[in-house]
Amino acid sequence: MRLVLSLIALTLTAPLAAQPAAVDTTALPPKTEPYEVGLLLSVYAWENPAVVVPLRVVNETAYPVYFGAAPALWAGAALADADLDPALRLTVAQAANFGVTFALKNLINRPRPYVAVEGVSARDRGHQGDEVFDPHSFPSGHTSTAFVIATSVSLSYPEWYVVLPAAAWAGTMGVARVWHGVHYPSDVLAGAAIGMATGAAVHFLMPDVFGDEAAAQPVRIVIPL
């Protein structure tokens, strides 16, 4: 868990090293700070293909992973006759994360950067056009879902080849949402915190349901007389 948190923190704080762009404080959108808008504009201005291409690719993996991770765990565990509890925990964690995230979105009602910040337009196809499913910016739903998946899977399968890709993917997703002009940095940080908290809470508080019943039974030793 410590490794997961360290990798995630490193990925998310990398953009903070960028020099924030100058901001006209007289034209700030509501519920934003000058430094945050400056950081948003700095990330949004990235043009290096070595950075931009991975951000675009990871952003496009969002829905396939969101909707495919839990079914893949269920199917994989069933086919391998393995423990189904990791799949159940991920399913419950994703559902809880969805509820918390969208409750906060509707409660806070923060407008998206491409709506409120001059010079920012939506690079995400889901936010182009007149009909947008989710107009609320805070917290980032993509980021919270990415982090709940990464956290739940990493805790269930604490191997480096699971933890490292999961943490890198989730952290990159958060940065990608800022670069695509659909979230402020604080949206992403809040989403990451919600996803990690939800994934960890479900993992540690939810009892096993499909655990090996034989292993749970007391060992009986028969001594012939």
Residue 30 clears pLDDT 80, i.e. is over it: no
8 A C-beta contact, residue 102 and residue 108: no
Q: Is the peptide bond before 139 cis (omega within 30 degrees of 0)?
A: yes
Amino acid at 19: Q
Greater pLDDT, 150 or 224? 150
- The answer to whether residue 108 scores a pLDDT higher than 90 is yes
State the chain's maximal CA–CA distance in angstroms: 91
For the question of whether the overall pTM of this predicted structure is more than 0.85, the answer is no
Residue 68 in tokens: 């495919």
Q: Is the pLDDT of residue 44 over 50?
A: yes
Average pLDDT over residues 17-27: 45
Closest CA to 142 of 224, 46, 55, 208: 55
Buried b (16+ CB within 10 A) or exposed e, 203-219: beeeeeeeeeeeeeeee
d(CA 158, CA 133): 35
Each domain of the chain, given as residue ranges in start order, spans: 2-18+33-209
Q: Are 54 and 180 in contact (CB under 8 A)?
A: no
- Residue 225, pLDDT score: 47
pLDDT tens digits for range 2-20: 544 454 554 454 444 444 4
Distance CA 140, CA 89 (A): 22
Question: For residue 74, is pLDDT > 90?
Answer: yes
Residue 112 has pLDDT above 70, yes or no: yes
Q: What is the pLDDT of residues 186-215, one digit of tens each?
A: 999 999 999 999 999 999 999 888 875 433
Mean pLDDT value across residues 175-193: 97
Q: Which pLDDT band holds residue 21 (cuts at 50, 70, 90)?
A: very low
Calculate mean pLDDT across residues 44-70: 96
Q: What percent of the chain has pLDDT over 90?
A: 69
Does residue 42 register a pLDDT over 70?
yes
Q: Is the per-residue pLDDT at 68 higher than 60?
A: yes
CATH code for 2-18+33-209?
1.20.144
Question: Facing residues of 111 across strands?
Answer: 136
Residues 91/93/96/102 CA torsion (nearest 10 deg):
-90
Measured distance CA(164)–CA(139) in Å, rounded: 24
Q: Evaluate if residue 26 carries a pLDDT over 70.
A: no
